[in-house]
Amino acid sequence: MSLSGKTALVIGAGGLGGPALLTLAAAGVGKLLLVEDDAVETSNLNRQPLFKEADLGQRKASAAAARLRALFPSIAVDARDLRFDADNALALVGAADVVVDGSDNFATKFLANDAALRAHKPLVHGGILRTTAQLLTVAPAGIGGCLRCLFEEPPPIGAVPSCAEAGVLGATAGFAGALMGAEALRLLAGERGAYEGRLFTYEARSARGRLVLVRRRPGCAACAGTQPLEPSEPVACAAPDRSEGAA
Ligand SMILES: [Zn+2]
């Protein structure tokens, strides 16, 4: 099936979700299902390309949908002004061919991880902090492990600063979001993801990137009972205990 027959679920329409949505729409993905429960604030505008000053105070879901429809009239946009939560996660994920996690909090990221694995849908995670971007693709029965293999549980609230607290370089978000969109396109086209079971970290100040295998963690509650594929090429490994991997 061509991209025009595919549906992408994008969680969050902000710094990561916005560039991902633009990438998916520009490539001709037929339907974009986006979930976002925030309003546009001044502090968003440095990194959230779907919004303009005239949108301040508007709901992000409706502003993002209006922008996407204006730019790409042939794309179907289903924008939901709601939070991705335990009550709606499986239904939303089940309606999509690929899931792009552009959320800004760990609880949502872990929920997206668990729901996508349960529904057997591929998922592209992304995260940014200051000048660092991270990507990880979780493919059911694919290579390597999932977010829960890597971190097991979300960190306690407040243990990791949010973007609002720590700040984020707008260009880092644009870069990471565009890579997430490109990765979702690969998956929709039936190819293996570039970050499938591999954590990609890019540090913008040093221009250093790193790609490490995320091992399947025995007893992982999210991907238990599935067999990982062996990667076809040797890659450095990230141990499940968050320690740095050796090449
Ligand atoms: Zn796992």
33 Cα to the center of ligand 1, angstroms: 25
Ligand 1 is an ion; residues with CB less than 5 A from it? 145-146, 148-149, 220, 222-223
196 Cα to the center of ligand 1, angstroms: 13
Which of 113, 85, 132 shows the shortest CA–CA distance to 214? 113
* Mean pLDDT of all residues in 178-202: 96
197 Cα to the center of ligand 1, angstroms: 10
Q: At what angle do helices 170-188 and 17-27 cross, to 10 degrees?
A: 40
* Mean pLDDT of all residues in 102-115: 94
* Mean pLDDT of all residues in 235-240: 56
3-state SS assignment for residue 77 = strand
114 Cα to the center of ligand 1, angstroms: 9
Q: How many CA atoms lie within 13 A of 90 on its CB side?
A: 4
DSSP 53: G
Q: How many CA atoms lie within 13 A of 3 on its CB side?
A: 20
Evaluate if residue 237 carries a pLDDT over 90: no
Quickly tell me which residue has 């042939």 as its tokens: 74
Confidence bin at 244 (pLDDT 50/70/90): very low
pLDDT of residue 87: 96
> Which residues pair with residue 201 across a beta bridge?
134, 210
> Which residues pair with residue 211 across a beta bridge?
200
pLDDT in tens, 24-70: 999 999 999 999 999 999 999 988 999 999 999 999 999 999 999 99
* Mean pLDDT of all residues in 2-27: 97
Average pLDDT, the chain: 88
CA dihedral over 79, 59, 159, 237, signed as positive or negative: positive
